[in-house]
Amino acid sequence: MRNDFKFAVVAVLSLAVISIAGQQRPSTQVSNAPYRAPRMADGHPDLNGIWQAMVTANWDLQDHDAQPGPHPEIMGAYGAGPAGQSIVEGGEIPYKPEALQKKKQNFEKRATVDVSSDKKWHEIGDPEIKCYMPGVPRATYMPFPFQIVQGSGPYILMSYEYASSTRIIRMNSKQEAPTPSWMGWSRGRWEGDTLVVDVTGLREETWLDRGGDFHSDELHVVERYTSMSPYHLMYEATIEDPKVYTRPWKMSFPLYRRIEKNVQLLEFKCVPFTEQMLYGRFSK
């Protein structure tokens, strides 16, 4: 009888636990309703904030293993690059055969600097190593935060920590790029709750990553910023350049809101870090 009593008590408790769990489960379900971001005075989503990508695309847009830097005999693990997954739709960039060969040459000479060359010396080596402004879309996935400053006027400002780069998005503008520039000419519009930015006029010297991925002076980038939650934006960029790629291609990844207490965009003015590398030979 004692064993039968114990069994009955256990059975009752088990049923009680199952019943309570069943009652609690509906209250913990996540709503499938799409997220609706807070609104600005003009009714458009509020994208203000400091954002940062958590991908390793600045080392290589495509799948890549961890690897040593250009001078492991000096830098050791300090100069090494992390492994990472591709942010390119389909996994690979659709290069033309001759352009793919140039990409490989770029990688081999990524840390090369020669300001005494008769060639355009700023075309040799990765512009990042020389503290040039990174261009679009690279500025978005470098390992530095950036800030979106949005009001209800005709402009949106994007300010990047790397090299204190900035660009202005001209909303609903029809004006063409007056001249090529490192950060390009950005024209914006809203498609529903998505900010669409059309970027042209980018200098051909900018690279897409440290892996040597590049473009020509015909690069055309269309970016899309969509709020997914209070803490996430989905970023997409469609890349078109008929001189270099066989077809347009797309990259995508989330951006994360920086929410630390008193978080702010700091300075990374890297010009002084490069002066000895670029011009040191002339001071001797």
Of 229, 158, 224, the C-alpha closest to 197 is 224
Is residue 128 in a domain? yes
Q: Do residues 261 and 237 touch, judged by C-beta distance below 8 A?
A: no
CA distances from 13 to 3, 17, 24 (A): 16, 6, 17
Q: How many CB atoms lie within 10 A of CB 58?
A: 24
Task: Please give the helix or strand (H or E) that residue 273 lies within, else none.
Answer: helix 271-279
What pLDDT, in 10s, does the model give residues 143-179?
Answer: 999 999 999 889 999 999 999 999 999 999 999 999 9
Is residue 21 in a domain? no
Is residue 137 in a domain? yes
pLDDT of residue 214 exceeding 70:
yes
Of 135, 119, 148, the C-alpha closest to 48 is 148
Task: Identify the weakest region by mean pLDDT among 61-65, 79-83, 119-123, 152-156.
Answer: 119-123
Domain that holds residue 104: 49-283
Is residue 146 in a domain? yes
| Beta strand 185-191 pairing with 166-171 | parallel
What pLDDT, in 10s, does the model give residues 243-268?
Answer: 999 999 999 999 999 999 999 999 99
At 112 the pLDDT is: 86
- Please state, in angstroms and rounded to a whole number, the distance separating the CA atoms of residues 121 and 280: 15
Q: How many domains does the chain have?
A: 1
Residues in the chain: 284
Is residue 225 in a domain? yes
At 8 the pLDDT is: 46
- Please state, in angstroms and rounded to a whole number, the distance separating the CA atoms of residues 204 and 180: 9
Is residue 39 in a domain? no
- Please state, in angstroms and rounded to a whole number, the distance separating the CA atoms of residues 157 and 148: 6
Is residue 109 in a domain? yes
Is residue 144 in a domain? yes
Tell me what percent of the residues of the chain surpass a pLDDT of 90: 76
